[in-house]
Amino acid sequence: MQIYLPIAEIPVNVLTILAMGLTVGFLSGMFGIGGGFLMTPLLIFLGIPPAIAVGTQSTSVVASSVTGALAHFARRSIDFKMGGVLLAGGTAGSLSGIYLFKLLSAIGQVDLMISIIYVVFLTIIGGLMMVESVQAMRVARNGGAGGRARGRGHHSWIHGLPFKMRFRRSKLYISVIPPILVGYFVGTLSAIMGVGGGFIMIPAMIYLLRMPTSVVIGTSFFQIVFVTALTGVMHAYENQAVDIVLGFILVIGGAVGAQFGVRVGEKLQGEQVRALLAALLLIIGVRLGIDLISRPDDLYSIVVMSSGT
Amino acid sequence: MGAWRTGRYALLALLTLGAAALAAPDARADRLVTDLSQHQVSIRSNFTGTEILLFGAVEAPPDERTVDRDIIVVVTGPTRTVKVRRKEQVAGIWVNHDSVTYPNVPGYHAIASTRPLEVISSPETLRAQRIGIENYEFGEAVATGIDGTREFLPPDTELDFWKALIRNKRREGLYLTDPGGVIFLGQTLFRATLDLPATVPVGLYTAKVYLLRDGKVVDTISSPLYIDKGGIERFIYRLAYNDALLYGLIAVIGAAFFGWLASAVLGRR
């Protein structure tokens, strides 16, 4: 069943897109991730122009992160103050990401930048997760007490920074500079990659800001809602890169898929799930990397500059 | 005086006759009558490309029987500025490097003819009549380097960009050549079908029909064809370009609503 996408200006098979939405939604429910960094490359593989893949995906991340944030709001596992500080950085980051995106599309390098960033992040995160989960599996098999030493209260350079603020929910008294910088960095990536950025935000919150794990996911969802909402509006406003029809199909598939994913995820063991996700990330990263270095079939490509209404 | 007057009338008659004789090949020659199956194509959500049927007749004197009569149909879409980029390997990665911009590139160009163009007519005639994508004037080419500054490329390098433009458009199905696409049904009636792929740009198209005899263009006729987005597709597209901020807000608020809906449905279970 073909449907013509009004902004991407190509016909796609609804069932293909729906199946992709379901699969990514399933995986994101199972692994507890946003899934943007899986969906955007898939859309690009399918032939959706990269800019529209990114713009549309940031809009549909709004839907899944609202669902996530509401669940955590009910469990009271959101640090709103920390979320607000991250959001301040995220807003600025998102705007600079949009600006960078526009600049690079004008000089024809935006596809390259998206690919490079994906290759770098997917292989690094996938590699680290793979190592970590394999180690955890080995520890579990040997029956050893594999408790990670979390240097809580350990003083680092972060504690020397000015503009300290008390975050009661996170039981922290730290400078606002690191969370603002983290927010900024993730906001920029979010605008360029069409992702929520949880896969960078969450490790940064745990290892860099040393927030308690109980509030990390909820707070991350909270700020992702607003950063991706801003990114989505800006992609539509500045780049005309949001395809509402494509986004609609993705959101439907994602919401349904996530429900099944959550149930399956509960039955699986943590390390195995993470090893699986790591393998998936590495496969996509390597595939994108090969595309970058292999000689294209046609060295020349064309782009229509002006588009009429 | 009478003689003079008669003479004058004779002269006038002679002139008229002469003019008629000169005009005769035109007046008595073959003439085209054509039409399209549809003058408006509307791109809706189920659009996966379409076919346009062009049909026509050659109005010729009844006694005449010409075999060497050819029809060429050229359908041209709206022109846009197109940038052609060439990738080069930089540190192992294929990067868009030099580019050439052409200001006047038709988004669609299809040619159908009774026989291959090179058999129908001479290259000079085709060039003079601007028939064939090779004879289309894309406008002044501007070359730009990777750093965004203007470059001057050697003519043969620039020719490679020009060839690549046509090659890419052909691959997308937007430039077509169908040497046997015009079929005569008997002596005067002919028809041609032209493929419009799903990616056709919207705008005003022209279908131009050329009638050739012995390699010379005898008559031409043009008909317009309008391709536009229709229904909801048109509404969404217009909104996205004309009220981009409102469109973005609708998309995001809609997504947030769906997120809330999903959690509300779940929460009840």
Contact between B248 and A235 under an 8 Å Cβ cutoff? The reply is yes
Per-residue pLDDT, B8: 54
CA nearest neighbour of B165 among A35, A49, A304, A264: A304
Residue that has been written with the tokens 């085209």 in this structure = B32
DSSP string across A164-231: EEEETTTTEEEESHHHHHHHHHHHHHHHHHTS--HHHHHHIIIIIS---HHHHHHHHHHHHHHHHHHH
On the question of pLDDT at A183 being above 90, the answer is yes
Cα distance from B198 to chain A (closest Cα, Å)? 7
DSSP state of B142: E
Please report residues of B whose CB lies closer than 8 A to that of A292: 93-94
Please report residues of A whose CB lies closer than 8 A to that of B256: 62-63, 66, 225, 229
Domain B30-230 falls under CATH 2.60.40.1930 = yes
Is the CB of A300 less than 8 angstroms away from the CB of B46? Answer: no
Is the CB of B255 less than 8 angstroms away from the CB of A242? Answer: no
Separation between Cα atoms, residue A53 and residue A5, nearest integer Å: 12
pLDDT grade, residue B257 (50/70/90)? very high
Share of chain B above pLDDT 70, in %: 86
Sign for the pseudo-dihedral over CA of A222, A228, A234, A237: negative
pLDDT grade, residue A144 (50/70/90)? low
pLDDT in tens, B155-171: 888 899 999 999 999 99
Residues 6+ apart with CB under 8 A from A101: A51, A54, A110, A191, A192, A235, A239
What is the pTM (predicted TM-score) of this model?
0.79
Is the CB of A7 less than 8 angstroms away from the CB of B240? Answer: yes
Average pLDDT (A52-72) is 89
Per-residue pLDDT, B22: 46
Per-residue pLDDT, A99: 92
Helix (H, G, I), strand (E, B) or coil at B266: helix
pLDDT in tens, B8-46: 555 555 445 444 444 444 445 678 888 888 888 888 888
Helix (H, G, I), strand (E, B) or coil at B64: coil
Residue that has been written with the tokens 């995906």 in this structure = A57
Closest Cβ opposite residue A240 in set B85, B240, B255: B240
Contact residues, B window 101-160, toward A, CB-based 8 Å cutoff: 101, 105, 107, 148, 160
CA nearest neighbour of A4 among B41, B246, B226: B41
Residues 6+ apart with CB under 8 A from B17: none
Residues A111, A113, A115, A116, Cα dihedral to 10°: 160
Is the CB of A304 less than 8 angstroms away from the CB of B263? Answer: no
Per-residue pLDDT, A46: 86
Per-residue pLDDT, B169: 93
Cα distance from B155 to chain A (closest Cα, Å)? 17
Cα distance from B77 to chain A (closest Cα, Å)? 13
Strands B93-106 and B142-144, sheet pairing:
antiparallel
Sign for the pseudo-dihedral over CA of A275, A280, A281, A282: positive
Closest Cβ opposite residue B95 in set A112, A233, A238: A112
On average, the pLDDT of chain A sits at: 84
Closest Cβ opposite residue A301 in set B168, B241, B244: B168
Per-residue pLDDT, B175: 94
Contact residues, B window 234-253, toward A, CB-based 8 Å cutoff: 234, 236-238, 240-242, 244-245, 247-252
Average pLDDT (A59-65) is 90
Per-residue pLDDT, A294: 87
Residue A216 corresponds to which tokens in the numbers above?
């990390």
Please report residues of B whose CB lies closer than 8 A to that of A25: none
Inform me whether the C-beta atom of residue B233 falls under 8 Å from chain A C-beta atoms. yes
Closest CA in chain B for residue A290: B93
pLDDT in tens, A7-51: 888 888 999 999 999 999 888 888 777 778 889 888 988 888 888
Per-residue pLDDT, A156: 66
On the question of pLDDT at A309 being above 80, the answer is no
Is the CB of A292 less than 8 angstroms away from the CB of B266? Answer: no
DSSP state of B179: T
Per-residue pLDDT, A146: 44
Per-residue pLDDT, B78: 93
Is the CB of A7 less than 8 angstroms away from the CB of B236? Answer: yes
Please report residues of B whose CB lies closer than 8 A to that of A304: 80-82, 105, 107, 201
The end-to-end CA distance of chain A, in Å, is 27
ipTM: 0.83
Domain ranges of chain A: 12-141+157-292
pLDDT grade, residue B141 (50/70/90)? confident
Inform me whether the C-beta atom of residue B96 falls under 8 Å from chain A C-beta atoms. yes
Closest Cβ opposite residue B259 in set A63, A112, A238: A63
Q: Please state, as a whole number, how many other Cβ atoms lie within 10 Å of the Cβ of residue B136.
A: 18
Sign for the pseudo-dihedral over CA of A4, A8, A9, A12: negative
- Long-range pairs of A39-47 with CB within 8 A, sequence gap ≥ 24: A39/A194, A39/A250, A39/A254, A40/A114, A40/A118, A40/A193, A40/A194, A40/A195, A41/A118, A41/A284, A41/A287, A41/A288, A43/A246, A44/A114, A46/A12, A46/A16, A46/A17, A46/A20, A47/A10
Per-residue pLDDT, B20: 45
Separation between Cα atoms, residue A5 and residue B130, nearest integer Å: 35
**A134-148, A161-175, B190-204: lowest mean pLDDT where?**
A134-148
Is the CB of B198 less than 8 angstroms away from the CB of A4? Answer: yes
On the question of pLDDT at A153 being above 70, the answer is no
Strands A11-13 and A2-4, sheet pairing:
antiparallel
Inform me whether the C-beta atom of residue B186 falls under 8 Å from chain A C-beta atoms. no
Contact between A65 and A225 under an 8 Å Cβ cutoff? The reply is yes
Select, from the ranges A236-250, A274-288, B41-55, the one with the highest average predicted confidence (pLDDT): A236-250
On the question of pLDDT at A125 being above 90, the answer is no
On the question of pLDDT at A143 being above 70, the answer is no
Per-residue pLDDT, B206: 92
